[in-house]
A and B are shown apart, each in its own frame.
Chain A
Amino acid sequence: MLDYITSYLKSDTTPGSAGNLFWAFVYIVLIFLGLSVAVIAMNWLERKILAHMQVRLGPMRVGPHGLLQPIADALKLLIKEDIMPAEADPFVFWVAPLIVVITAFTVFIVVPFGPTHAVTDMNIGVLFMLGVSSLSVLGVVMAGWASNSHYPLMGALRSSAQMVSYEIAMGLAVVSAVLMTSLNAEGTGTLSMIGIVQAQQAQHVWFAFKFFPLGLIAFFIFAVAMVAETNRAPFDLPEAESELTAGFHTEYSGFRWSLFFLAEYSAMIAVSSIAVTLWLGGWMRPFPNALRGETWDLLFSLIPGLTFLFLAAITFYSTARMPKHPYFKLQTIGLGGFGAVLALIGVVLFIPPVRARVQDIFWFNAKVAVSMYMYIWYRGTFPRYRFDQLMKMGWKVLLPLGIGVLILTAIAGVLF
């Protein structure tokens, strides 16, 4: 038994490829927990960052700087009354949020957090991610229809039209990136997520900068389409609150609503990780070829630990600046404790074996985090599109652009 567990640690494949069920299970649990924590953190970050962009303070009451606000919200949602409209279709109404959540979490099976850090490596990785995430629109449509109410139905119609249109542009952008993986000596490309990153490593370039500006345009198309796919601002017409109250999930409350919320954020993380894997070099650290050698490797491997120590330093600074009133004593201690935890994580990340194994995960997550910040930034910056503008954008701009980039990439691949 113990041999079975330790034998995997020496191998250099994913647990799924090694056929090790124990470690596959460990990875699934870790990803599930990490994702839930990330969604909670995103909830807080989004409110805080948006607030600061609009020169407000955002949540400040629950915990220091509102840090415990998402937990309070989650508790509120769990103890809220769960309402089902009288005329609703009970089975479809019940199953819709489940479909959305299951599809949003299933795609993480193939997300490569590192050359060995994925649950499994499928040879149709990208196809699997696109396919399963395209199923989530079914849940949205079912939720809107089963509520038997006007606003949800309108939201569901909008969302199905929008997601089907943007999926095409997204697929074309992905194909042009997959085409780039086949530019090696054997001439065989790959759809596996790990294989795509390794192809970028072998070609010494992130695909976003390959055949400049073709890769960049493909990345741009994907970046726009992924915002539309996840129904986020400025493409959040399915839940446009000024027109449809809350769109397809108007009739949902309590726990079921929180499932939609969870699915929305984990779908955002999922499409961001597709973008990072295909165009931004996945788990690779910046400049793995230009700045190589012992010294650079050491320097870059220290960054994860230093980042956490920096965060801890900011937290300690905020702790020192907390009001000295006895009212805030508990909060001050809590914030200090949080800083101590961050510092501890930073110190642990300096231990050489940990450093070597965790680096990849850090770089991947850092790139995804940048993409998540962009999502919030878009929401704070762009006004919402009108529906005909959205359709025009998808069909008349992104789709021809995608086809053009695909053809030009193929030509460039043959020529160079």
Chain B
Amino acid sequence: MAPVATTFFFYFLSALTVLSGVLVITRKNPVHSALALIVSLLGQAALYLMLYAPFVAGVQIILYAGGIMVLFLFVIMLVNIERAQKEEQFNQQWLVGLAAAVALGALFVLVYIKGRGLFPDRAIQMPEQSNTQQVAVLLYGNYMLAFEIASLLLLVAVIGAVVMAKKRI
């Protein structure tokens, strides 16, 4: 089936992602922030779908929206929200933040201008059917070592968390 209204959906999903991203940092109630973050992540997943990467989109939904954000909410719900809302927020360092944001933005613009040849000027039609296989070949073939190192790092983090949280193992 040919794609329908691609431009509309691209701008719609991008706007959704960016707007909910802004909501994440402007809401005072942490639960509302977390919910906005979920919407933002789902918008991202939909954008992956538009890039013919259904496997990445599915994993994004399962891991981020269904797994990690649930744990986020789990922790936030245990916080006393009335007190947290009255506390002063960490927005004193806006000068440093602004500088960092400008530097990052400049970097993006630079990459866009210098690396114009990297980006194709039209959307490429990817073989959607074999996306899962392609991801697998890249992860377990070409980038095997990097993948294993990343999983080792995660394992270290898990063990560290257990060691820190448990008095007696």
By size class, the interface of chain A is: 20 to 34
A41-49, A123-131, A253-261, A346-354: which lies at the interface? A123-131
Distance between Cα atoms of A264 and B133 in the complex (Å)? 34
- Identify which of residues 133-169 in chain B touch chain A, using a CB-to-CB cut-off of 8 Å: 133
CB <8 Å contact, A188 and B69: no
By size class, the interface of chain B is: 20 to 34
- A144 to B: closest C-beta gap in Å: 8
- Answer whether residue B23 sits at the interface, using C-beta atoms and an 8 A cutoff: no
CB <8 Å contact, B62 and A131: yes
Q: Return the contact of B66 from the options A92, A142, A161, A167 (Cβ within 8 A).
A: A167
The interface residues of chain B lying within 8 Å CB-to-CB of A141 are 70, 73-74, 77
CB <8 Å contact, B1 and A163: no
- Answer whether residue A97 sits at the interface, using C-beta atoms and an 8 A cutoff: no
Contact with B along A210-235 (1 / 0, CB 8 A): 00000000000000000000000000
- Answer whether residue B85 sits at the interface, using C-beta atoms and an 8 A cutoff: no
- Identify which of residues 66-108 in chain B touch chain A, using a CB-to-CB cut-off of 8 Å: 66-67, 69-71, 73-74, 77-78
- Greatest chain A CB density within 10 A among B58, B71, B77, B128 is at B58
Contact with A along B42-77 (1 / 0, CB 8 A): 000000000000110111011001110111011001
- B113 to A: closest C-beta gap in Å: 36
Known: A92-B35, A123-B129, A124-B132. A138 touches B61 (CB 8 A): no
The interface residues of chain B lying within 8 Å CB-to-CB of A138 are 38, 65-66, 69-70, 73
Known: A16-B1, A122-B54, A124-B54. A137 touches B70 (CB 8 A): yes
CB <8 Å contact, B55 and A124: yes
Distance between Cα atoms of A190 and B133 in the complex (Å)? 9
- Answer whether residue A134 sits at the interface, using C-beta atoms and an 8 A cutoff: yes
Distance between Cα atoms of A156 and B76 in the complex (Å)? 12
Contact with B along A106-134 (1 / 0, CB 8 A): 00000000000000001110011011101
Distance between Cα atoms of A414 and B65 in the complex (Å)? 35
- Answer whether residue A153 sits at the interface, using C-beta atoms and an 8 A cutoff: yes
Sample 27 A-B pairs with CB under 8 A, ordered by A number. Answer: A16-B1, A19-B1, A89-B29, A89-B31, A92-B32, A123-B54, A123-B128, A127-B58, A127-B59, A130-B62, A131-B61, A131-B62, A134-B62, A134-B67, A135-B65, A135-B66, A137-B66, A137-B70, A138-B65, A144-B77, A145-B73, A145-B77, A160-B70, A160-B74, A163-B70, A167-B67, A191-B132
